[in-house]
Amino acid sequence: MRLQAPQLWTAGQRVALLAIVAALFAYLAIRYLTNSTYVSNPQPAEPSRASELVDRIDPNTADVATLAALPTLGEKRAKLIVDYRESRRANRPNVIVFQRLEDLLRIRGIGVATIDQLRPFLTFPTTVPTTQRDSR
C-alpha cells in the first residue's frame, strides 16, 4: 500500500488560482496592445509647435507661454528666462536684460546647443536705452 502525500492545494483552489493568473495575463496583454508608444529617432526636423510662432520673439518682452512655444525650450526653461528677466528688472526697471543671444547663457539649463537652435526664432533690440546722467 502506497501512502500519498497531502496536496497543498485542493482542486477548487487550483482552478481559482489558474483563473486569476489567466485573467491577470489577459489584462496585461490587452494593456500592452492598446498602449503602444512610438518615439521617432531621430527627432523630427520641424518641431511640433513651430507653427505656433508668428514672428521672431523678443525675450525681453515675451511671456512664459510664448517662450515655451520655442523648440527645445519648454515651459520650465521659459519660466526660468522670465524669472531671471524680472529679477534683473526689479533693481533697474528700464534695463534691457537680453541685448544679444549669448546673454541667455546666464540662465541655468541653457547652453550653446540650445542657443544655436533658438537663433532663428529670437530677436533682440537694436538700440541700447540711454542712461540718465547725474545732473550736478
Q: Please tell me which of 48-52, 86-90, 129-133 the model is most confident about, judged by mean pLDDT.
A: 86-90
Q: Let me know if 95 is exposed, middle or buried by CB neighbors in 10 A (0-12, 13-18, 19+).
A: middle
The pTM score is: 0.54
Query: For the chain, what is the radius of gyration of the CA atoms?
Result: 30
Predicted confidence at residue 93, as pLDDT, reads: 83
With contact defined as beta carbons under 8 Å apart, do 84 and 102 qualify? no
Calpha distance 53→75 (Å, rounded): 15
Q: Reduce the DSSP state of residue 83 to 3 states and report it.
A: helix
Examine the pLDDT at 48 and tell me if it is beyond 70. Answer: no
Average pLDDT over the chain, rounded to whole?
Answer: 83
Domains of the chain and CATH, by start: 50-121 (1.10.150.320)
Tens-digit pLDDT profile for residues 9-43:
899 999 999 999 999 999 999 998 888 776 667 76
Instruction: Tell whether the model's pLDDT for residue 104 goes beyond 50.
Output: yes
Amino acid 55: pLDDT: 77
Please tell me the distance from the alpha carbon of residue 46 to that of residue 50, in angstroms, as a whole number: 7
Q: Percent of the chain having pLDDT more than 90?
A: 32
- What mean pLDDT do residues 47-66 have? 78
